[in-house]
Chain A
Amino acid sequence: MSEIIRFKLNGTPVTLDTNADRRLLWVLRTDLELTGAKYGCGEGQCGSCTVIVDGRAVRSCQASLGSVQGKAVTTIEGLALDGKLHPLQQAFQEHGALQCGYCTPGMIMNAYGVLLRHPNPTREQIVQGMQPNLCRCGAHTRIIRAIEVAAGRNGGSHD
């Protein structure tokens, strides 16, 4: 049941000895105390649990811990570099692309994934790319605007 799982988490190697079938979301939140990723539906439908695994957006409420063996996982906590906000985070803040903030980490991580695939996305590519993420507060138009702005700044990378 219990296995050694090694992976990279926000750039740092991590080793865990636990049941590999456990959902990544709970391992992040409970074992690793990274509570940025949120439980919204537990069914991979709302996107609030989204993290990046080897450059792709993954719904961590569905992904098993074992599935990240040997991979690079990035969570919202790993986006800022040396205390400097990522352009996506900066744009979300500047454009008020949030209200309650519950969907926000998932939105930003999914957007990060979109920008990795499309560094200079059209609006349509952004909208299509963000389909997996729900915002019950209704901040969608500002979220799209923030992603457009972030993409305009060096394709949404830190440089």
Chain B
Amino acid sequence: MTELTRMDRREFVTLLGGGIVVVVTVPFESLWDALDQQGRQRGYPEDINAYLHIAQDGKVTLYSGKIEMGQGVMTSLSQMAAEELGVSLDAVHIIMGDTAACPWDMGTFGSLTTRVFGPAVRAAAAQARLILTDLAARRLGVARDGLTVENGVVYVTAAPSRRASYGELANGQRITHTVDQKAVLRAVREFGVMGRSPRRLDGIEKVTGAAKIRRRHPAARYALRPRAAFAGARRHAAAHGCQRGRGHARRHRGQ
């Protein structure tokens, strides 16, 4: 079963190049578990509070060591969390790449975000949903299977007016309650948020010029690397004000 996940890209491409059709008979859920395992081995934490915070007003914050660089994971990771947690995409706010707040990550590269961090996010969000459902069950005095989760609200299926919101249940605190069961991830046919292409969450800032590509430290100065204008050009100390000399490489200073 694990052959496919253990195979590296070179082997896989070689197989394809040879005209061999690789048939995957492993159930998708098991493949996902294998990827989740990889994540754990790489050091992704088990504690759901490392990934998620639910405020009193129900706003969900997702913490991601992975960052957005145009590949779209700001949006897709939010979709994954929203899907498993049972909230709308609008309810999720993602914080990325903050080393003080976000779980350890080896860095964003290698097309690994969706494959390896994704399972960790989904597992944490699904577990959070299970725990919050359990808390609601205790509060409402019903069994867990008598409850439905929709848009961050847990209600008694047979009596929807009896309900508790995620905000009320989590109350902005760390979720310390545990359930002795591993949450089951949503199946593809159940997807309401995943499986769609919403507009990118970083889109508006990028089309208005408001997006900050990198954080600016107040003491930061800027430097530009001098580049040879052509092969064989000599470096020449440019006068203040970026005077261009013919036949000389320019040294620029951002001013």
User: Cβ of B209 and Cβ of A98 under 8 Å apart?
Assistant: no
Q: Would you give the shortest CB distance from A142 to chain B, in whole angstroms?
A: 11
User: Is B206 among interface residues, defined by CB-CB distance under 8 A?
Assistant: yes
Question: CB < 8 Å: which of B70, B212, B255 contacts A98?
Answer: B70
Q: Knowing A26-B255, A30-B255 are in contact, say whether A96-B200 is a contact too (CB < 8 A).
A: yes
- Segment from A17-25, A124-132, A151-159 that makes contact with B: A17-25
Closest to B206 in A: A101
Closest to B209 in A: A36
Question: CB < 8 Å: which of B72, B204, B241, B252 contacts A93?
Answer: B204
Please name all residues of chain A whose beta carbon is closer than 8 Å to the beta carbon of B208 when the two chains form the complex: 36, 76-77, 79-80, 85, 89
Q: Knowing A94-B199, A96-B199 are in contact, say whether A104-B207 is a contact too (CB < 8 A).
A: yes
User: Is B242 among interface residues, defined by CB-CB distance under 8 A?
Assistant: yes
User: Is B202 among interface residues, defined by CB-CB distance under 8 A?
Assistant: yes
Q: DSSP majority for the B interface? A: loop
User: Is A99 among interface residues, defined by CB-CB distance under 8 A?
Assistant: yes
User: Is B69 among interface residues, defined by CB-CB distance under 8 A?
Assistant: yes
The number of chain A residues with a CB under 8 A from chain B is 35
User: Cβ of B254 and Cβ of A98 under 8 Å apart?
Assistant: no
Please name all residues of chain B whose beta carbon is closer than 8 Å to the beta carbon of A39 when the two chains form the complex: 224, 254
Residues of B123-159 whose CB lies within 8 A of A: none
Q: Knowing A26-B255, A93-B203, A98-B203 are in contact, say whether A76-B209 is a contact too (CB < 8 A).
A: yes
User: Cβ of A92 and Cβ of B209 under 8 Å apart?
Assistant: no
Residues of A65-115 whose CB lies within 8 A of B: 75-77, 79-80, 85, 89, 92-94, 96, 98-102, 104-105, 108
User: Is A42 among interface residues, defined by CB-CB distance under 8 A?
Assistant: yes
Q: Knowing A21-B242, A98-B206 are in contact, say whether A42-B70 is a contact too (CB < 8 A).
A: no
Question: CB < 8 Å: which of A23, A35, A93 contacts B212?
Answer: A35
Q: Would you give the shortest CB distance from A103 to chain B, in whole angstroms?
A: 10
User: Cβ of B224 and Cβ of A108 under 8 Å apart?
Assistant: no
Please name all residues of chain A whose beta carbon is closer than 8 Å to the beta carbon of B72 when the two chains form the complex: 99
User: Cβ of A98 and Cβ of B241 under 8 Å apart?
Assistant: no
Q: Knowing A30-B254, A42-B224, A104-B207 are in contact, say whether A93-B199 is a contact too (CB < 8 A).
A: yes
Closest to A80 in B: B208
User: Is A34 among interface residues, defined by CB-CB distance under 8 A?
Assistant: yes
User: Cβ of B213 and Cβ of A102 under 8 Å apart?
Assistant: yes
The number of chain B residues with a CB under 8 A from chain A is 25
User: Is A137 among interface residues, defined by CB-CB distance under 8 A?
Assistant: yes
CA distance A26 to B203 in the complex (A): 25
User: Cβ of A22 and Cβ of B255 under 8 Å apart?
Assistant: yes
User: Is B181 among interface residues, defined by CB-CB distance under 8 A?
Assistant: no
User: Cβ of B209 and Cβ of A22 under 8 Å apart?
Assistant: no
Closest to B72 in A: A99
Q: Would you give the shortest CB distance from B241 to chain A, in whole angstroms?
A: 5
Q: Would you give the shortest CB distance from B252 to chain A, in whole angstroms?
A: 6
Closest to B69 in A: A100
Q: Would you give the shortest CB distance from A61 to chain B, in whole angstroms?
A: 10
Closest to B200 in A: A96
User: Cβ of B207 and Cβ of A85 under 8 Å apart?
Assistant: yes
Please name all residues of chain A whose beta carbon is closer than 8 Å to the beta carbon of B199 when the two chains form the complex: 93-94, 96
CA distance A75 to B208 in the complex (A): 10
Please name all residues of chain B whose beta carbon is closer than 8 Å to the beta carbon of A34 when the two chains form the complex: 209
CA distance A34 to B211 in the complex (A): 11
Residues in B lying within 8 Å of A, measured CB to CB: 69-72, 197, 199-200, 202-213, 224, 241-242, 252, 254-255
Q: Can you name 7 A-B residue pairings with CB atoms under 8 Å?
A: A34-B209, A38-B213, A85-B208, A92-B203, A92-B207, A98-B207, A101-B205
Q: Give the 8 A-B CB pairs with smallest separation, nearest first.
A: A36-B209, A100-B70, A99-B70, A101-B206, A76-B209, A89-B207, A93-B203, A105-B209
